[in-house]
Structures are given as structure tokens and as C-alpha cells.
Structure 1
């Protein structure tokens, strides 16, 4: 099956749309460019265009990613950091992204998740019960010291 052939300008427009729809990281855009089988010079030209015209902005991506994953998926900072590192985001941009998360809101979310999970865990052994809740929150990416503090203050 033949793949459709696009000009560099058409691909540039497609990638502009791709970046406008949702903030993207360099890795996602590079992957998308890979699909078009372009020569390296054309890839460079398109990437440069996207950066110069602010379609592609790593810091903006990192900040919106951190805000979204925390507010919508209720992820903790460790999980957000892990996911950003996986996307090859710089340490500077990761740190600036974490500043987007309000500390008070973060703790409030943690305590809400503890309460919600306590209501659903049917385990009667208090140690196993705490472990199940802690494992759930660790998977969510919250820091272990904060989890144990939250479990201690909201003892079952």
C-alpha cells in the first residue's frame, strides 16, 4: 500500500495543527516527523519553524502536563517527574513544572485520596489495610513520607 506523499510545507502545516491541538514535547513531535520519512534537513527545518513560532515549547508543555495530570488524574509529584523524564524533559523544566502544583491543594488531594481508598478497602487486618492504601498512593506517585504521615493522622 502506498503512503500518501506530502510536501515539506504540508507536513509543516500538519505539525502546526498537531501542536496547536495540545501542547506537545519534542519527543512526540520527533516521533510524528519520523512517520513522514523526511530527510534530516527537512526535519530540522520543520522543528526549527515550530520552535521559532512557539508551536513547540518544552517549558509550556511540562507545566501544562504537570497541572493536568495532578488536577485530572490526581497523580503525585514522583509520577509526574517520572513521566516527564520519560519524555526527555530537562531537569530545569521539570522543576519549573512542579511549581505549578499548589502545595496546599497537593496535600488536600492526598488526604482526599486516603479517605476515598479507606472507604473501598475491605481488608480487616490493620497492617494489610494500611499497606494496600499506601501501595495505591505510591502507584499514584505520592512521596512515601507524605503517605505515611497522612495514614498516621487519619488512622483507621
Structure 2
């Protein structure tokens, strides 16, 4: 679908007014719409100058949403922001700005509920499955260990 520069600008400003978007998403849309590099650059300058797009603001909102609603840990959030081409410095700042309590408030109930649904022969197997589950959600080993309340001897973590 080919759009003029004016049509693209109107669509993108409308989109950005409704929800947070990152610059990479807007660039991808413009590429699909067949806009040239000069047109894209002009539109991006307008969107950034007029605060329609702000990758720092996007990263903060994105991270909090993924933690609270998708129940993701910092590693998975970082990976998702990387996939959206968010600058490493912005990713680092964003994740550093999130309180550890935020992650723990998500991880504790996740592990508690998962524990109820897992059928295993012994506690070791249970904890192994819980660790794998939490790692898959992007949580770190220290966070997981804290949630398991020291149920697992230190040597079983391979540290």
C-alpha cells in the first residue's frame, strides 16, 4: 500500500496519539507503506520533535506493562525491547529504574500457582521445574531463589 508523505504523517500521528510506540515501529510502517528514506527522516523528525515518539517514555511504559500484565522478568523484557531496537542505554536505564519489589510481586504468585499445577515425585524435581518455569519467564536466579525461600540447598544451584 503506497501512501503519500502527508497521509503517512497523519496516520502515524493518529496512531501515536492513541498509544505509545517506538521509533522502530514507525519506521517499519513507513517502509511497508513505500516511503523513501528522505520522507521517513522528515516524518520521524516531526514525530520526535513534537513528542509523538519518545523511546525512553516508550521503554518505561513497555517494561511496566510486560512485568505487570504479561508477568515477565527483566531478562525477557530486555529481550523484547532489544527486538524493538530500543537503544541499550535506554534499556539499561529503564530496567535499573524498576524496583526489585515490582518483580517479586509478580514472581511470588506465579511460582505459588505453578507449584499447585506441577505433579512430581519429590521436592527437588518440583524446584527444578519451578526454576525452569521462572527462568523461561525472564526472571533471574537470585529472584527465583528468594521466592523459593531457600527450599533448595545452595549447591543445587550450581554456584
Q: Same fold (TM over 0.5)?
A: yes
TM-superposed CA distance for 1:91, in Å, is 2.2
1:48-87 paired onto structure 2 within 5 Å: 48-87=45-84
More moved, 78-87 vs 146-155: 146-155
Partner of 2:41: 44
Which residue does the alignment assign to 2:94?
A: 97
* Kept after mapping to 2: 8 A contact 1:67/1:100: no
Consecutive unaligned residues of structure 2, counting only runs of 5 or more, are: 153-159
CA distance in 1, matches of 2:70, 2:151: 23
Please give the alpha-carbon distance, in whole angstroms, between the structure 1 residues aligned to 2:142 and 2:100. 15
For the pair 1:28 / 2:25, whether they are aligned, the reply is: yes
Aligned residue-pair number: 152
Match of 1:113 among 110, 126, 151: 110
Q: CA deviation at 1:24?
A: 1.0
- What is the alpha-carbon distance in structure 2 between the residues aligned to residue 38 and residue 6 of structure 1? 7
Q: What is the Cα deviation at residue 73 of structure 1?
A: 0.9
Distance 1:39 1:84 in 2: 26
Q: Return the alpha-carbon distance in structure 2 between the equivalents of residues 50 and 65 of structure 1.
A: 19
In structure 2, distance between residues paired with 1:106 and 1:88: 23
| TM-score scaled by length of structure 1 | 0.88
User: Which residue of 120, 126, 129 corresponds with 1:129?
Assistant: 126
